[in-house]
């Protein structure tokens, strides 16, 4: 080994002190991209540019949108949609008559993913007044079930923890569209609607006020508040409260009756109405009713349900003593529902 080292030193060419200094060449950005990969912001812009190109094959455009959806799963990338001015072009894909149902469904998927648990993205998107467009996709006239399902997903991302968006539902027939969604021919749409209603009902002041981020010791400085975190909501807690608006909508817009009928007399589903009953939907509806009752001191307010629906609900609960067990609901939660129907007169 020593002899090999001496041989290497003896035969190496020493650098002369007067040898010309060669200027450093900048590394080709293309090589850097090849080795490290392009930055996500570049990938996002390229994907959207391809998706917007109506001269490209639809399959290529759909793949580009799928790539973009995966990128915005990261909350920082989702917030970059505003910085890169990509919200407007995305919305244009929803409203363009040239966009196919597949393109629109993929776009709704991107929007819903970017909005999930992201107040900053919600603020950016709601500035485009998107509620009427999203609601329009819930119409039974929309033939593609995937499009209706993805519309509920996007609406869910926009409305959760966002009272401003929830208030707008009333002005654009949103609650009526959600009520119709509980009878959609596609069972996935029904499940997502029930899940959304429950999510809007469970949010309240105490949940936010009990958040660990609010705990401070004497003399400590408040933790930094980032716009893409729910800590930012604390500056304006009422803007996040949706439970009261949702509960009132259930009573005033017929959604409470629709939920009860979804449970007690479900409309057959499937392309030809060939399927009946769905355990997942049943669980979501029961849970939504229990959550609603929690906002109303455990009682159905007078006039919120007619005698027929109340009687049907009471009979259903009596006929299914295993309802709580098969829905994965605790005895305490089921007791709320049982007590609410106890005083109902048999019809």
Are 147 and 108 contacting, i.e. CB atoms less than 8 angstroms apart? yes
Per-residue pLDDT of the chain (347 residues; tens, 9 = 90+): 666 556 566 656 555 555 566 566 666 565 555 565 799 999 999 999 999 999 999 999 999 999 999 999 999 999 999 999 999 999 999 999 999 999 999 999 999 999 999 999 999 999 999 999 999 999 989 999 999 999 999 999 999 999 999 999 999 999 999 999 999 999 999 999 999 999 999 865 444 444 344 434 344 444 455 555 555 555 567 789 999 999 999 999 999 999 999 999 999 998 777 778 899 999 999 999 999 999 999 999 999 999 999 999 999 999 999 999 999 999 999 999 999 998 654 54
The pTM of the full predicted model, rounded to 2 decimals, is 0.82
Residue 276 per-residue DSSP state: -
pLDDT value for 275? 79
Contacts of 171 (CB under 8 A, 6+ apart): 131
pLDDT value for 219? 46
pLDDT value for 206? 46
Q: Up-side HSE of residue 259: CA atoms within 13 Å toward CB?
A: 30
Handedness of CA 46, 49, 55, 60 (dihedral sign): positive
Nearest to 337 by CA among 313, 319, 302: 313
CA distance 78 to 255: 32
Q: Which two tokens stand for residue 110?
A: 């991107």
Nearest to 179 by CA among 131, 123, 120, 249: 249
Residue 99 per-residue DSSP state: S
pLDDT value for 215? 37
Contacts of 75 (CB under 8 A, 6+ apart): 117, 118, 228
pLDDT value for 88? 98
Nearest to 231 by CA among 248, 208, 253: 208
pLDDT value for 230? 53
Are 227 and 124 contacting, i.e. CB atoms less than 8 angstroms apart? no
The CA-CA-CA angle for residues 145, 151, 156, to 5°, reads 130
Nearest to 157 by CA among 187, 125, 127: 125
For residue 275, the SS3 value is strand
Per-domain boundaries in the chain: 34-128, 163-209+236-347
Q: Which two tokens stand for residue 43?
A: 């990938």
Q: Which two tokens stand for residue 309?
A: 């629906």
CA distance 287 to 337: 9
CB atoms within 10 A of CB 237: 13
For 295-310, give the DSSP string. HTTTSPPTTSS-HHHH
CA distance 254 to 63: 40
For 194-255, give the DSSP string. HHHHHHHHS--HHHHHT-GGG---TTPPPPP--TTSGGGGGGSGGGG--HHHHHHHHHHSSH
Contacts of 213 (CB under 8 A, 6+ apart): 223, 231, 234
Q: What are phi and psi of 43, to 5 degrees?
A: -60, -40
CA distance 202 to 247: 10
């Amino acid at each position: 080994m020593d002899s090999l080292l001496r041989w290497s030193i003896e035969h190496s060419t020493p650098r002369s002190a007067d040898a010309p200094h060669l200027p450093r060449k900048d590394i080709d950005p293309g090589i850097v991209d090849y080795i490290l990969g392009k930055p996500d912001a570049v990938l996002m812009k390229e994907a959207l540019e391809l998706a917007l190109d109506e001269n490209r094959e639809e399959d290529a455009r759909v793949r580009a949108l799928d790539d973009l959806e995966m990128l915005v799963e990261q909350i920082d990338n989702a917030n970059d949609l505003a910085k890169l001015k990509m919200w407007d072009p995305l919305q244009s894909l929803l409203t363009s008559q040239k966009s196919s149902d597949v393109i629109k469904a993929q776009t709704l998927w991107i929007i819903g993913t970017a909005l999930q648990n992201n107040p900053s993205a919600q603020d950016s998107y709601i500035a485009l007044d998107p509620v009427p467009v999203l609601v329009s996709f819930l119409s039974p006239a929309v033939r593609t079930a995937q499009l209706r399902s993805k519309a509920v997903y996007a609406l869910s991302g926009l409305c959760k923890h966002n009272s401003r968006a929830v208030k707008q539902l009333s002005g654009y027939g949103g609650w009526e569209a959600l009520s119709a969604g509980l009878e959609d021919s596609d069972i996935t749409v029904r499940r997502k609607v029930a899940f959304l209603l429950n999510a809007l009902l469970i949010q309240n002041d105490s949940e936010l006020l009990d958040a660990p981020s609010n705990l401070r010791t004497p003399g400590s400085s408040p933790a930094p508040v980032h716009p893409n975190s729910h800590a930012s909501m604390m500056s304006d807690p009422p803007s996040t409260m949706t439970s009261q608006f949702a509960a009132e909508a259930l009573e005033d817009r017929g959604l409470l009756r629709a939920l009860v009928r979804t449970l007690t007399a479900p409309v057959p589903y499937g392309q030809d109405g060939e399927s009946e009953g769905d355990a997942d939907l049943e669980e979501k509806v029961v849970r939504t009713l229990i959550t609603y009752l929690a906002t109303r001191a455990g009682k159905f307010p007078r006039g919120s349900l007619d005698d027929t629906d109340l009687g049907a609900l009471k009979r259903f609960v009596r006929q299914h003593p295993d309802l709580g067990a098969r829905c994965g609901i605790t005895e305490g939660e089921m007791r709320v529902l049982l007590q609410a129907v106890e005083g109902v007169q048999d019809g």
